[in-house]
Structure 1
Amino acid sequence: MLTIATLGPKDTFSDLATKRYIQAIQAKQPVQTADIKYYGTLTQTFQAVGKECQLGVLPIENLSEGYVQVVLDQLLDTKLSVISELLLPIQFSFVGFCQEMSELTDLYVQFVAHGQCAEFINGLEGVKIHNTQSNIESLVLAKKHGNKAGAIIPQHALSHAADANIINNDVTNYANNQTRFLVLSETPQARIADKQYKTTLVVNNKQDCPGVLGNIVSAFALQKVNLTSIMSRPTRSQIGNYHFFIDIDGHQEDPHIATALAEIQSSYDVTVIGSYIKALN
């Protein structure tokens, strides 16, 4: 049986993304069975891959909030491989256990969801905001707090809040909000012909060499490689020294990409985290 780690408890967006991934692999391999193991934090989820679980599904990037930093930091120093990505529509609702909004004193919201619902949250006056590890935890804590509390939860989880007195069905900043999830494994994904690929890599700048970013961009540009994103993360050795987390279109074995990578690797430490089939919008 395949075991997959994801952020719990049940009905988080990570759980929904994991179930969609399972549906996709079972459509190709009907005999494949999978069990989801839930973890309390993203770090715990990441660290379970290759130990307690064979795979992990973690959020890496949101349309409005950008990269999930805690996952990025784990990827910067990992031996795991990205084998797939998923794009999941993300919409949030507010549920209140008070009789009137004026009675609301405490709001529970997951730390990433906070930014995605900032316009609604910033409109609340005199309300204490509690950041949580997961969206379902927000609901659990709000219920535990009592009749002056509320929570921001996924729209698909509203059935768990049937006892709420106030429901605002959509408090998301953007109607087209999406989160990108990565599937991680100890074993790289075998290449499939005629598929569109994306490659994720990290350029480590431990030596604090000048002109790193310019040299990386030039090497890819010379080979006409399309960079879809570049994200810098501190090396934690000194201020102003960064690693670069990069996504490019194509597979690492494509001749033009292999040439560009060889050029960069001649000067810098490069880790290819994975080449995987590109998710379609």
Structure 2
Amino acid sequence: MKKIAMLGPKNTYSEVAAKVYQNHTKTTYTFSYQKRIADVFEAMNTDTIGIIPIENTLEGYVQQHLDYLLEYPTYTITQELRLDVAFTCISHVPLASIETLYVQYATKNQCQKFIAKLDGVNLVVTDSNSQSYEAYLKDYSSAVIIPNHIYEEGMAPYDYVNITDESHNQTRFWIIESKERLDATYEDYKMAMVFTPRVDRPGLLLSIVEAFAKAEINLISIMSRPTKKAMGTYHFFIELECKLSQVSQIKTILKTLSTAMDVRLLGIFPDLSA
């Protein structure tokens, strides 16, 4: 049976996304829970796909996860989906008496307004929402921020429901596989790619943008990330929208641009949530 590797333990939004993907594809997978996103990539093979959170409405791209895509060049993005994301704070004690707040690192950035009210509270940042909850259960002067799908009314003496900074909060997930897979049942696609200059020069980024502009290809995001090889050297991550009929044309553009810089196509993928 095929597997899906994801950030664990159980009850993470990654698990929710994996269940949505499983239902959408009408395929039964064994879930493989990993402690870190790096472990998700390590667990992948021809029989194991990965699912990773890549972007959130409130905090933007998870940039470290983009870096992992470069570290594991044999994998490609094949599909994406989006989930509504919301959080609740539960506590053993009243708000004014909370000594410690446990919160996962991405969750923290999506609940800043609520956290700002807890002046003087010891903030403990964890790797997963489940880890936060387990720590809270052992600390009777603490509170924890958990996803709404974990929350149940009456599970704690005090609760503060829907504390997410914005009500229309979503997280986007990418499905990662060992080979490209184009599904012709979809017409609309996205493509993700990374450009690494061999020699920095004025107008380099402009040359990339102009190449797509002339072809009337819509770029939806451009972001630089350090190459980690030398100060002041960067990769350019770009995402674009296209039709299935334009994929061949875009690959030709990438081949032309590769004469002046290193180009890697990270994936061609439909949005399963659309």
Matched residue, 1:33: 28
Q: Is the 8 A contact 2:186 2:270 kept in 1?
A: no
Which residue of 22, 41, 44 corresponds with 1:46? 41
- The Cα offsets for residues 173-210 of structure 1, whole Å up to 9 and x where unpaired, read as 01000010000000111341552111111112243344
Q: Secondary structure at the match of 1:87?
A: strand
Aligned-partner Cα distance in 1 for 2:100–2:164: 19
Which residue of 179, 199, 203 corresponds with 2:195? 203
Which residue of 227, 242, 256 corresponds with 1:263? 256
Which residue of 107, 114, 124 corresponds with 2:108? 114
Offset, 1:59: 0.2
Offset, 1:39: 0.7
Amino acid at match of 2:3: T
Matched residue, 1:84: 79
- The Cα offsets for residues 9-38 of structure 1, whole Å up to 9 and x where unpaired, read as 111111100110000111xxxxx3211010
Aligned-partner Cα distance in 2 for 1:162–1:202: 48
Q: Is the 8 A contact 2:198 2:260 kept in 1?
A: no
Aligned-partner Cα distance in 1 for 2:265–2:245: 8
Matched residue, 1:135: 129
Change (3 A) 1:265 1:191: farther
Q: Secondary structure at the match of 2:58?
A: coil
Offset, 1:126: 1.2
Q: Is the 8 A contact 2:102 2:123 kept in 1?
A: yes
Where do 5+ consecutive residues of structure 2 fail to align? Answer: none
Aligned-partner Cα distance in 2 for 1:262–1:57: 29
What is the Cα-based RMSD across aligned positions, in Å? 1.8
Which residue of 51, 55, 65 corresponds with 2:49? 55
Offset, 1:267: 1.3
Where do 5+ consecutive residues of structure 1 fail to align? Answer: 27-31
Q: TM-score w.r.t. structure 2 length?
A: 0.93
Q: Is the 8 A contact 2:98 2:141 kept in 1?
A: yes
Matched residue, 2:59: 65
- The Cα offsets for residues 27-62 of structure 1, whole Å up to 9 and x where unpaired, read as xxxxx32110101111211222227x6100000000
Which residue of 222, 225, 228 corresponds with 1:236? 228
1:12 aligns with 2:12: yes
Q: Is the 8 A contact 1:93 1:155 kept in 2?
A: yes
Q: Is the 8 A contact 1:224 1:256 kept in 2?
A: no
Change (3 A) 1:255 1:106: same
Q: Is the 8 A contact 1:55 1:184 kept in 2?
A: yes
Amino acid at match of 1:42: I
Change (3 A) 1:23 1:217: same
Change (3 A) 1:133 1:194: closer
Aligned-partner Cα distance in 1 for 2:272–2:213: 23
Change (3 A) 1:101 1:248: same
Report percent identity of matched pairs. Answer: 35
Matched residue, 1:157: 150
1:190 aligns with 2:178: no
- The Cα offsets for residues 54-107 of structure 1, whole Å up to 9 and x where unpaired, read as 100000000110111221110123220101101110101101112x11110000
Change (3 A) 1:189 1:255: closer
Q: TM-score w.r.t. structure 1 length?
A: 0.91
Q: Is the 8 A contact 1:81 1:187 kept in 2?
A: yes
Q: Is the 8 A contact 2:182 2:268 kept in 1?
A: no
Aligned-partner Cα distance in 2 for 1:189–1:128: 47
Change (3 A) 1:107 1:24: same
